[in-house]
A = this chain, B = another copy of it.
Amino acid sequence: MSAPFSFKLLKTDGTARRGEIVTPHGKVQTPAFMPVGTQGTVKGLMPEAVAAAGTEIVLGNTYHLMLRPGAERVAALGGLHQFMNWPGPILTDSGGFQVMSLSALRRLEEHGVTFRSHLDGAIVELSPERAIEIQALLGADISMQLDECLKLPSSREEIARAMQLSLRWAERSKRAFESVRGGRALFGIVQGGDDTGLRAESAKALVDIGFDGYAIGGLAVGEPQEMMLNIVAETTPVLPAERPRYLMGVGTPDDLMEAVKRGIDMFDCVLPARNGRHGMAYTRHGSINLANARHAEDARPLDAESAHPAARTYSRAYLHHLTKANEMLGQVLLSTINIAYYQALMGEMREAIAGGRFEAFCAATKEGWTRGDLPART
């Protein structure tokens, strides 16, 4: 459990990639999906259930954990792995995204960002150096540089300014990370909004600085899927083949497949868990809204052929009942089922790439989604 970070590209199929990441807390097969453990927990799920759903790596949120319970406290308690009882690899974000989206009275300066905590209004500072320090205290296997995330659309000038600032922060992050030990990794983050020229400039500059992996940030912020995929397709060729590529905050099952097709290796997203908590299930035949009355008497499971017992065992009628009754178990079961579906999809993509049949797999999978959910026979 103490191998330093490394990435091995095992196979390519077109621009889709099958690889393996090694971290001090274990291996991750790529393309990989990381469920989000916002506040030190994948909401409602025992860590054993997260693992049993096929998860090899989870994401922790620096912004949330620095405010509560505090990075120093987590460190004193043995680090985030021990704190949340997750023995596998953990990637932490830098906090930049949540500073923009959750905090009030934000002041952005060259040095860093000052903001009011959304919890208690306390004034908090976050700099590239402090973001690295926090992630080291948490014990992240993979840390992210602090960057500035913009909402889209923004002006080209504003996008260029934020991208340049993120690059200067990338350099400072790399320097600060030199004192972090234990074979951990630091990823840089490509910015540049919807401008492919700025994206390429950002990517090249980051590669010059040199990181263990490269993320594409600032997407999945409301732009059309086509724009997002175009940015991904234009950016991945600029990145070195021998480093993992992480598309932050993405996405739907279709987003994942299309981004893998364009050379992405890693993803994180709250969608499967959040939509599960709101009664939506992801399946081979598209998404299903369990709150709909048509499920009230449907004895069929969500997917009799699923590898996950929860998708095979509980009737749609029961999941409908739990959803209507706002029962916690409904949220737990549907979060589990959705994460298991995402992980099964990633596993199938990995197999398809390894077998050189990724295009055919994508077509068949999309056909399943398009077919849609069939009503119960009456």
- Residue ranges of A at the interface with B (Cβ–Cβ < 8 Å): 39-41, 43-46, 68-69, 73, 76-78, 83-85, 296-297, 299, 313-315, 317-318, 320-322, 324-325, 327-329, 331-333
Contact = CB atoms under 8 A, between A and B. Distances in A.
B77 A315 contact: yes
Nearest to A67: B325
A83 B39 contact: no
Nearest to A315: B77
A68 B325 contact: yes
A46 B329 contact: yes
Contact of A44 (B85, B296, B324, B329): B329
Contacts of A44: 44, 327-329, 332
Given A43-B327, A78-B299, A296-B69, A83 B317 contact: yes
20 contacts: A39-B321, A39-B322, A41-B322, A43-B329, A44-B332, A46-B332, A68-B321, A68-B324, A69-B296, A69-B320, A76-B297, A77-B297, A77-B318, A83-B317, A83-B318, A83-B321, A84-B318, A328-B328, A328-B331, A332-B332
What copy number does this chain have within its complex? 2
Contact of A85 (B76, B83, B314): B314
Query: Most chain-B CB neighbours within 10 Å: which of A73, A85, A321, A322?
Result: A321
A48 to B, nearest CB: 9
Contact of A318 (B40, B76, B320): B40
Contact of A43 (B41, B73, B76, B328): B328
Query: Most chain-B CB neighbours within 10 Å: which of A40, A299, A313, A318?
Result: A318
A43 B330 CA distance: 10
